[in-house]
């Protein structure tokens, strides 16, 4: 089933908006003081910069990436696409920390978490394995607390949609914030 059909069946609506930026603005409106933001897949930092220049709250923003590009090809993108030669983007913000390396090694049950009343997850690794890995660590560490926000950039892709349907929908009670043709954002009701 396509993303729009999946959302219609689950929520009775798609809450469609015409761009990712409009959807991100809806997320930003809902960010609370002291929230933790996890950006899974940073590349050149477009999303990071968009969020940090608009969020006024004292959040902790952690950006996870290899910065050597996609470790395997994805759809029509070759291995290495998005590489910045191992260097994170030059974004200067005291709220920001880069977690550099393969997420399957940098984000595990050993990862030092900061307790927060709200967590924001921006999933944008493109690839299935790292996305599922990061999702499962979040789940196992009980990070999907009430009011947390979960965003998937490639929800149109059958593999990412599978994570949403077969894992997230089974594990967490959600409200729909909104969707574009390819991305979706949810808010956690309770778990």
Ligand X SMILES: C[S@@+](CC[C@H](N)C(=O)[O-])C[C@H]1O[C@@H](n2cnc3c(N)ncnc32)[C@H](O)[C@@H]1O
What is the spatial distance between Cα 172 and Cα 191, in angstroms, rounded to a whole number?
Answer: 5
Query: Helices marked H in 107-164 — which ranges?
Result: 128-140, 158-163
Look up tokens 């761009």; give the residue. 19
Q: Is 89 in the site for ligand X (CB under 6 A)?
A: no
E-strand stretches of 32-180: 36-40, 60-65, 96-100, 119-123, 149-152, 173-179
Choice from 35, 51, 61, 65 touching ligand X (CB under 6 A)? 65
Taking CB under 6 A as the criterion, the residue among 35, 103, 143, 174 binding ligand X is 103
Q: What end-to-end distance do the CA atoms of the chain give, in Å?
A: 25
Least separation in angstroms between residue 186's CB and ligand X is: 18
Query: Applying CB under 6 A, which of residues 38, 61, 121, 125 lies at the interface with ligand X?
Result: 125
By CB under 6 A, residue 44 contacts ligand X? yes
Task: Give the interface size with ligand X as a residue count (CB under 6 A).
Answer: 21
Nearer to ligand X, 5 or 87 (CB): 87
Report yes or no: 121 and 186 within 8 Å, Cβ to Cβ: no
Under rule CB under 6 A, residue 82 binds ligand X: yes
Between residues 107 and 186, which has the closer beta carbon with respect to ligand X? 107
55 lies in the binding site for ligand X (CB under 6 A): no
Contact between 143 and ligand X by CB under 6 A: the answer reads no
Closest CA to 183 of 12, 10, 30, 27: 27
Note the residues at the interface with ligand X (CB under 6 A).
41-44, 46-47, 64-66, 69-71, 82, 102-104, 124-127, 130
């Amino acid at each position: 089933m396509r993303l729009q059909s999946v959302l219609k069946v689950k929520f009775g609506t798609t809450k469609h908006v015409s761009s990712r930026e409009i959807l991100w603005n809806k997320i930003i409106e809902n960010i609370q003081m002291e929230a933790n933001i996890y950006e899974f897949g940073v590349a050149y930092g477009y999303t990071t910069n968009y969020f940090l220049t608009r969020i006024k709250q004292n959040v902790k923003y952690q950006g996870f990436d290899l910065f050597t590009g996609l470790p395997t090809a994805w759809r029509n993108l070759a291995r290495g696409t998005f590489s910045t030669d191992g260097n994170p983007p030059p974004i200067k913000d005291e709220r920001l920390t880069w977690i550099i390396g393969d997420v399957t090694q940098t984000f595990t049950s050993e990862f030092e978490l900061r307790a927060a009343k709200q967590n924001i997850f921006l999933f944008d690794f493109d690839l299935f394995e790292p996305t599922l890995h990061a999702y499962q660590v979040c789940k196992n560490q009980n990070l999907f607390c009430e009011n947390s926000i979960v965003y998937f950039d490639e929800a149109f892709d059958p593999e990412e949609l599978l994570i949403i349907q077969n894992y997230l929908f089974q594990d967490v009670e959600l409200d729909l914030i909104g969707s574009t043709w390819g991305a979706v954002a949810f808010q956690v009701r309770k778990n």
